[in-house]
Amino acid sequence: MEEKKLKKGIISSALKDMGISLSILAAATLAGYVFKAFSLTDSDIIMLYIIAVLVISIITSRMQYCLISSVIGVGLFNYFFTYPEFSLSAHDAGYPVTFVTMFITAFIAGSLANKLKRNILIAEQNAKEKEEAALLAQNERLRANMLRSISHDLRTPLTSISGNASTLISNSLTLDEEARQQIYSDIYTESMWLIGLVENLLYATRIEDGKMQLNRSVEILDDIVQEAVKHIDRTHQKRMIYIDTHDEIIPVYADANLIVQVIVNLLDNSIKYTEDDSVIRISVRKEGDTAVVSVADNGTGIPQTEKEKVFDMFYTGGNRSSDSRRSLGLGLTLCKSIINSHGGTISIGDNEPSGTVVSFTLPIGDVKIHE
Amino acid sequence: MNECLVLVVEDDKPIRNLITTTLKMNDYRYITASKGNEAIMLNASNKPDIIILDLGLPDIDGVDVIEHIRTWSDVPIIIVSARSEDQDKITALDRGADDYLTKPFSVEELLARLRVIQRRHMKSENNSITEFVNERLRIDYVSGCVYLNENELHLTPIEYKLLCLLARNVGKVLTHKYIIQNVWGSATETSEASLRVFMATLRKKLDDSRQPLIQTHIGIGYRMMKL
ipTM: 0.78
**Cβ neighbours around A326 below 10 Å, total:** 14
Residue A324 · residue A308 · CB < 8 Å: no
| Least confident span in A208-212, A236-240, B41-45, B46-50 | A208-212
Q: Are strands A211-212 and A207-208 parallel, antiparallel or unpaired?
A: antiparallel
pLDDT at position B120 is 76
Judged against a pLDDT cut of 60, whether residue B129 lies above it is answered with yes
Sequence letter at residue B223: R
Residues of B engaging A, defined by a Cβ cutoff of 8 Å: 83-84, 86, 104, 106, 109, 156-158, 184, 189-194, 196-201, 204, 216, 218-219
CA distance A194 to B81: 18
CA dihedral B146, B152, B154, B157 (to 10 degrees): 20
Whether A251 and chain B come into contact, CB under 8 Å, resolves to yes
CA distance B45 to B40: 9
> What's the mean per-residue pLDDT of chain A?
81
Is B193's CB within 8 Å of A251's CB?
yes
Is A251's CB within 8 Å of B184's CB?
no
Is A218's CB within 8 Å of B196's CB?
yes
Judged against a pLDDT cut of 70, whether residue B135 lies above it is answered with yes
Residue A97 · residue A43 · CB < 8 Å: no
Q: Which among B194, B200, B216 is the nearest to A368, CB-wise?
A: B194
Judged against a pLDDT cut of 90, whether residue A62 lies above it is answered with no
Sequence letter at residue A115: K
Q: What is B5-123's CATH superfamily?
A: Response regulator (3.40.50.2300)
| Least confident span in A46-55, A209-218, A299-308, B30-39 | A209-218
Is A220's CB within 8 Å of B197's CB?
yes
pLDDT at position B42 is 94
Name B157's Cβ contacts closer than 8 Å, sequence gap at least 6: A371
| Least confident span in A100-109, A252-261, A348-357, B131-140 | A100-109
Q: Which among B190, B193, B216 is the nearest to A223, CB-wise?
A: B216
Average pLDDT over residues A36-65: 83
Q: Are strands B50-54 and B5-9 parallel, antiparallel or unpaired?
A: parallel
Judged against a pLDDT cut of 60, whether residue A326 lies above it is answered with no
Phi, psi dihedral angles at B223 (to 5 degrees): -145, 140
Residue B152 · residue B140 · CB < 8 Å: no
pLDDT tens digits for A110-148?
A: 888 888 888 888 999 999 998 888 878 777 776 776 677
Q: Where are the domains of chain A?
A: 2-131, 211-363
Average pLDDT over residues B199-207: 87
Judged against a pLDDT cut of 50, whether residue A319 lies above it is answered with no
pLDDT at position A254 is 92
CA-wise closest residue to A336 among A328, A347, A325 = A347
pTM: 0.67
Average pLDDT over residues A331-341: 84
Average pLDDT over residues B34-39: 93
Residue B173 · residue B221 · CB < 8 Å: yes
Task: Write down the H helix ranges in chain A.
Answer: 2-37, 42-59, 63-81, 95-171, 177-204, 221-233, 256-272, 304-307, 331-341
CA distance A233 to A12: 63
Q: How confident is the model at residue A315 (pLDDT cuts 50, 70, 90)?
A: low
Residue A218 · residue A365 · CB < 8 Å: yes
Percent of chain A with pLDDT over 90: 12
- Chain B residues touching residue A197 (CB < 8 angstroms): none
Q: Is A339 helix (H, G, I), strand (E, B) or coil?
A: helix
For residue A220, what are the β-bridge partners?
A251
Architecture of domain B127-224: Orthogonal Bundle (1.10)
> What's the mean per-residue pLDDT of chain B?
87
Judged against a pLDDT cut of 60, whether residue A236 lies above it is answered with no
CA distance A45 to A29: 8
Judged against a pLDDT cut of 70, whether residue A27 lies above it is answered with yes
| Least confident span in A164-173, A288-297, B72-81 | A164-173
| Least confident span in A79-93, A125-139, A156-170, A247-261 | A79-93
Q: How confident is the model at residue B126 (pLDDT cuts 50, 70, 90)?
A: low
pLDDT at position A294 is 94
Name B95's Cβ contacts closer than 8 Å, sequence gap at least 6: B63, B66, B67, B70
Q: How confident is the model at residue B186 (pLDDT cuts 50, 70, 90)?
A: low
pLDDT at position A321 is 42
- Chain B residues touching residue A365 (CB < 8 angstroms): 193
Q: How far is CA B133 from CA A117, B170, B202, in A?
A: 79, 11, 17
Judged against a pLDDT cut of 60, whether residue A235 lies above it is answered with no
Min Cα–Cα distance to chain A from B180, Å: 11
Average pLDDT over residues A175-192: 87
Is A227's CB within 8 Å of B194's CB?
no
Sequence letter at residue A357: V
Q: Where are the domains of chain B?
A: 5-123, 127-224
Residue A266 · residue A358 · CB < 8 Å: yes
Q: Which among A226, A251, A367 is the nearest to B216, CB-wise?
A: A226
CA distance A313 to A146: 9
Average pLDDT over residues A352-359: 89
Phi, psi dihedral angles at B184 (to 5 degrees): -100, -25
pLDDT at position B46 is 92
Most confident segment among A89-98, A118-127, A131-140, B32-41: B32-41
Asked, as a colleague might, if the bond just before A96 is cis with ω within 30 of 0, I would say no
pLDDT at position B219 is 85
> Is the domain A211-363 a CATH 3.30.565.10 member?
yes
Sequence letter at residue B92: A
Q: Which among B156, B157, B196 is the nearest to A251, CB-wise?
A: B196
Helix (H) or strand (E) holding B197: helix B189-206
Q: For the stretch B52-75, what's the b/e string if a residue is b when 16 or more beta carbons lie within 10 angstroms of its beta carbon?
A: bbbbebeeeebbebbebbeeeeee
CA A103 to mean position of chain CA atoms: 50
Percent of chain A with pLDDT over 70: 88
Judged against a pLDDT cut of 60, whether residue B124 lies above it is answered with no
CA-wise closest residue to A301 among A277, A314, A320, A325 = A320
